[in-house]
Chain A
Amino acid sequence: RKEVEQDPGPFNVPEGATVAFNCTYSNSASQSFFWYRQDCRKEPKLLMSVYSSGNEDGRFTAQLNRASQYISLLIRDSKLSDSATYLCVVIGTSGTYKYIFGTGTRLKVLA
């Protein structure tokens, strides 16, 4: 089983739609979680951290479910500019604080 798993997509959604991605992780001792956004041929950029209590930033909501070992990202009122790959990141605890990236989920928002 991969340490971090994501559905690669693509998720094709119309403008204004709500879309949600999940990311599962295998190490129950993982401590920190993030969502990064990566545009085509660009570097990943931090979108938001994922806290135990969940967090919201405008149209984006991230949640953590430790019992089921997954994190989620919800995007409301999708914009064309939201089209990108969304990378899930888990900080492992196998001796070093290693960032473990998922393969990413591609989102295409259609006009």
Chain B
Amino acid sequence: EAGVAQSPRYKIIEKRQSVAFWCNPISGHATLYWYQQILGQGPKLLIQFQNNGVVDDSQLPKDRFSAERLKGVDSTLKIQPAKLEDSAVYLCASSSDGRTGAYGYTFGSGTRLTVV
């Protein structure tokens, strides 16, 4: 089966600019996650969708980050305006077992964002 697709692979922007990332989960996976991984740290959950509804966005900096999954399939994550500390890898993941993730996640290859 095809994996989780993400684009772009790399992005370099200046601070205060906007950027958007795209994710297409594995077909049939209802649950989609966006994670931020800063160098040397473990991934941190930004937002979790179940179909097109938000399950958890408690760690999403809502003053600058937004995410949507309008049709319950692919998703976009936007940062506006970007700050230097947003430099990180943004990972999208999906899972097939509803909200629990008890069977593990499949991650996309990520988007490496550098803010200069």
A97 and B43 form a contact (CB under 8 A): no
Provide the A82-96 mask, 1 if CB < 8 A to any CB of B, else 0: 000001000100001
Known A32-B100, A44-B43, A87-B42; contact A99-B105, beta-carbon cutoff 8 A: yes
Provide the B44-70 mask, 1 if CB < 8 A to any CB of A, else 0: 110010000001100000000000000
Question: What residues of chain A lie closer than 8 Å to B55, measured between beta carbons?
Answer: 96
Question: What residues of chain B lie closer than 8 Å to A34, measured between beta carbons?
Answer: 104
Question: What residues of chain A lie closer than 8 Å to B101, measured between beta carbons?
Answer: 32, 91, 97, 99
Question: What residues of chain B lie closer than 8 Å to A45, measured between beta carbons?
Answer: 107
A32, closest chain B residue (CB): B102
Question: What residues of chain B lie closer than 8 Å to A49, measured between beta carbons?
Answer: 104
The number of chain B residues touching the other chain, given as a range, is 20 to 34
A99 and B45 form a contact (CB under 8 A): yes
Question: What residues of chain A lie closer than 8 Å to B109, measured between beta carbons?
Answer: 42-43
Least Cβ distance of B40 to chain A in Å?
A: 7
B95, closest chain A residue (CB): A99
Is B25 interfacial (CB-CB < 8 Å)?
Answer: no
**Which B residues lie at the A interface, using CB under 8 A?**
33, 40-45, 48, 55-56, 91, 99-102, 104-110, 112
The 29 listed contacts between A and B (C-beta, < 8 Å) are: A32-B100, A32-B102, A34-B104, A42-B109, A43-B108, A43-B109, A43-B110, A44-B91, A44-B107, A45-B107, A46-B105, A49-B104, A87-B42, A87-B43, A91-B100, A91-B102, A96-B55, A96-B56, A97-B102, A98-B48, A98-B56, A99-B33, A99-B45, A101-B44, A102-B42, A103-B40, A103-B42, A104-B41, A104-B42
What 11 new A-B contacts, CB under 8 Å, besides A44-B43, A46-B104, A103-B42? A32-B101, A42-B109, A45-B107, A96-B48, A96-B55, A96-B99, A98-B45, A99-B45, A101-B42, A102-B42, A104-B42
